[in-house]
Amino acid sequence: MNKIKTVEIKLKINNEDKIFSVKINDRLVDALRANGYKGIKKGCYQGSCGACTVLINGRPMNSCMIPAAAADGFEITTIEGLGESDNLHPLQESILETGGVQCGYCTPGFLISSYALLKNNPDPTMDDIKRATDGNLCRCTGYVKKLEAVERAAKKMRGEK
């Protein structure tokens, strides 16, 4: 079997410049995880479940559907870029407060999609929240608590109680 070629890609991840050496046939999700961004989850590998969602140039996308080689020059935000364990983002705080996490596998992707929504729309309706997170499947919670968490985070970020 032929040796798989490696290529160098330059990325800005969570505002830090990075250079990765990746196999030419890697998916972006695998390249990111191999380089320490384990918050991103591998799920369906078909763009269906949303576990691998990251922000690319400000927009949520499925990192399993992007060849790593094609990501050269991308600005990426992962769940690690939202908050620290001792300084949570309002979305992370809110999803804990509402009980919107059970197994937690979908949580990083769900929060990234929600983060993208709130950046552009600080006062979303419930329909806006559902539409923004329609690509993030959750098999545990039944969605209600997760969606409430986004509403709650939006209020916090607007300075409301």
Partner 1 sequence: MLRKLENYHRPEKLDDALRLLDECGAGARILAGGTAVMAGKNNEIKTLIDIKNTGLDKVSKRKNGVEAGAAVTIAGLLESPEIKKYCGGLVYEAAYHIASTPLRNMITLGGNITQVFPWSDLPAALLACGAELTVAGPGGVRKLLYADAVKKHPTQMIAKNEIVTGVNFPELPGYVGKFTKFSKTSFDFALLDACVAVKIKNGMFEDARFAVSAAGTLPQLLNESAALLKGVKTTDSKAVSNAVQKAVSETVFTGDKRVSVEYKKQILPVLIERLIDAAIKQNEGADAK
Sequence letter at residue 74 = F
Beta 6-13 vs 53-56: how paired, if at all? unpaired
Helix axes 107-120, 144-157, angle to 10 degrees: 40
Nearer to partner 1, 67 or 83 (CB): 67
Helix (H, G, I), strand (E, B) or coil at 156: helix
127 vs 160 by CB, closer to partner 1: 127
**Of the two residues 66 and 147, which places its CB atom closer to partner 1 in the complex?**
66
Strands 53-56, 16-23: pairing kind: unpaired
Chain-centre distance of CA 117, in angstroms? 12
Closest approach of partner 1 to the CB of residue 74, in Å: 11
CB of residue 109 to partner 1, shortest distance in Å: 8
Where do contacts with partner 1 occur on this chain (CB under 8 A)?
5, 7, 24-25, 27, 46-47, 50, 53, 56, 59-62, 64-67, 69-70, 72, 113, 131-136
15 Ramachandran zone, left/alpha/beta (phi>0; psi -120 to 50)? left
Of the pair 88, 135, the CB lying nearest partner 1 is at: 135
Closest approach of partner 1 to the CB of residue 110, in Å: 11
Least separation in angstroms between residue 160's CB and partner 1 is: 25
Residue 55 amino acid letter: L
